[in-house]
Amino acid sequence: QKEVEQNSGPLSVPEGAIASLNCTYSDRGSQSFFWYRQYSGKSPELIMSIYSNGDKEDGRFTAQLNKASQYVSLLIRDSQPSDSATYLCAVILGGFKTIFGAGTRLFVKA
Amino acid sequence: ETGVTQTPRHLVMGMTNKKSLKCEQHLGHNAMYWYKQSAKKPLELMFVYNFKEQTENNSVPSRFSPECPNSSHLFLHLHTLQPEDSALYLCASSRGTGGQGTEAFFGQGTRLTVV
Q: Report yes or no: A107 at the B interface, CB cutoff 8 Å.
A: no
Give A35 to chain B, closest Cα distance, Å.
10
Strands A71-76, A61-66: pairing kind: antiparallel
Q: What is the spatial distance between Cα A99 and Cα A101, in angstroms, rounded to a whole number?
A: 7
Candidates B33, B98, B106; nearest CB to A95: B98
Distance CA A55, CA A25 (A): 18
DSSP A83: G
- Maximum Cα–Cα distance for chain B, whole Å? 43
**Which residues make Cβ contacts (< 8 Å) with residue B1, sequence separation at least 6?**
none
Per-residue pLDDT of chain B (115 residues; tens, 9 = 90+): 779 999 999 999 999 999 999 999 999 999 999 999 998 788 999 999 988 888 888 889 999 999 999 999 999 999 999 999 999 999 999 987 666 668 899 999 999 999 9
Q: What is the pLDDT of residue A17?
A: 97
> pLDDT tens digits for B59-82?
899 999 999 999 999 999 999 999
Residue of B43, B59, B93, B106 to mutate for A, most A C-beta atoms under 10 A: B43
Contact B77, B18 (CB under 8 A): yes
- pLDDT tens column, A41-59: 899 999 999 999 999 999 9
Q: Is A96 in contact with B98 (Cβ distance < 8 A)?
A: yes
Distances from the Cα of B65 to the Cα of B13, B34, B81, B92, angstroms:
16, 11, 11, 17
Residues in B closer than 8 angstroms to A102, CB to CB, are: 41-42
Question: A93 and chain B: CB distance < 8 Å anywhere?
Answer: no
The shortest C-alpha distance from B86 to chain A (Å) reads: 14
Between chains, do B107 and A95 touch, taking CB under 8 Å as contact?
A: no
A44 touches chain B (CB under 8 A): yes
Q: What pLDDT shows up at residue B106?
A: 96
Hey, are the CB atoms on B98 and A51 less than 8 Å from each other? Answer: no
